Amino acid sequence: MNYHIDIDGQKIPLRIIEERRRSTRVALGSTHVILRIPKVPFFGANIQKHVDWAKNWLQQLKAVKPHVLDKYLPKKAYRNGDLFIIGKHQFYLNIQHAARKSGSIQYKDDHLYLVIPDMPGYDEQKLIRSLLIKFAQNHFLPIIIDRVNYYNRRYFKKPIQQVRLKYNKSNWGSCSTNKALNFSVRLFFAPDDVIDYVVIHELAHLIEMNHGDRFWKIVSDIMPDYKEKEHILKVNNGIYDF
């Protein structure tokens, strides 16, 4: 049976499975929270107490891990004529269907022209999102490279092997041991100063690979209010997405 639980105003999809067991268990599935409850002669008997228990468990979990339920946020839907807004940038969507097997996207004069296959059996919104991600990676790569070069020249003066922009939900940026800097394209939903914080953070790893006191001293000397930027990223982790 499928239900919803309200957690701080967010409706979480809940799937209840009745089975032969003695205790109640909650698991975070890919699309639903799964609540496994003991099987009783009549389904629904005392079911509310199990739902209440699950709600309390989820609230406690969210207090410790604020973004653990973000994957259950509803996906954005894109339609022809919509305005696609990413940070301070905005683009008008022109979505057309054609007899083809793959999608394409082109950019011209603040308009994005998407051609979508006119065929059943696929997730159209998923394809549109993937095309928007592809566009954003190409469009914003020169911008992130420019910010990296600016802060590196001014504060670090370290060799950089490569700067890459890709879609990543596990982190906002990373620095490899071979001095390659990676950034999530989701960053561009954030304000410019927050993007700059992540750039400074990853550049600091060229000096200190760990997050020890020396690392945070480097970051705070350049951006004293860096904790505010971290808070913005944490609060909006589920929102800064395609």
In the chain the domains, ranked by start, together with CATH numbers, are: 2-72 (no CATH), 83-235 (3.30.2010.10)
Write out pLDDT tens, residues 140-158. 999 999 999 999 999 999 9
Q: Is the pLDDT of residue 130 over 80?
A: yes
Which of 187, 171, 190, 186 is CA-nearest to residue 129?
Answer: 186
Of the pLDDT bands very low, low, confident and very high (cuts 50, 70, 90), residue 44 is low
Please give the pLDDT value at position 42.
60
Please enumerate in sequence order all residues whose Cβ is within 8 A of that of 82, keeping only pairs 6 or more positions apart, or say none: 92, 93
Q: Is the pLDDT of residue 60 over 70?
A: yes
Please give the pLDDT value at position 91.
98
The residue-averaged pLDDT of 82-90 equals 96
- Chain centroid to Cα 10, Å, comes to 17
Please give the pLDDT value at position 9.
82
Which of 240, 233, 238, 241 is CA-nearest to residue 9?
Answer: 238
What is the rounded distance in angstroms from the CA atom of residue 74 to the CA atom of residue 65? 19
Predicted TM-score of the model (pTM): 0.77
Q: What percent of the chain has pLDDT over 70?
A: 98
The residue-averaged pLDDT of 123-128 equals 94
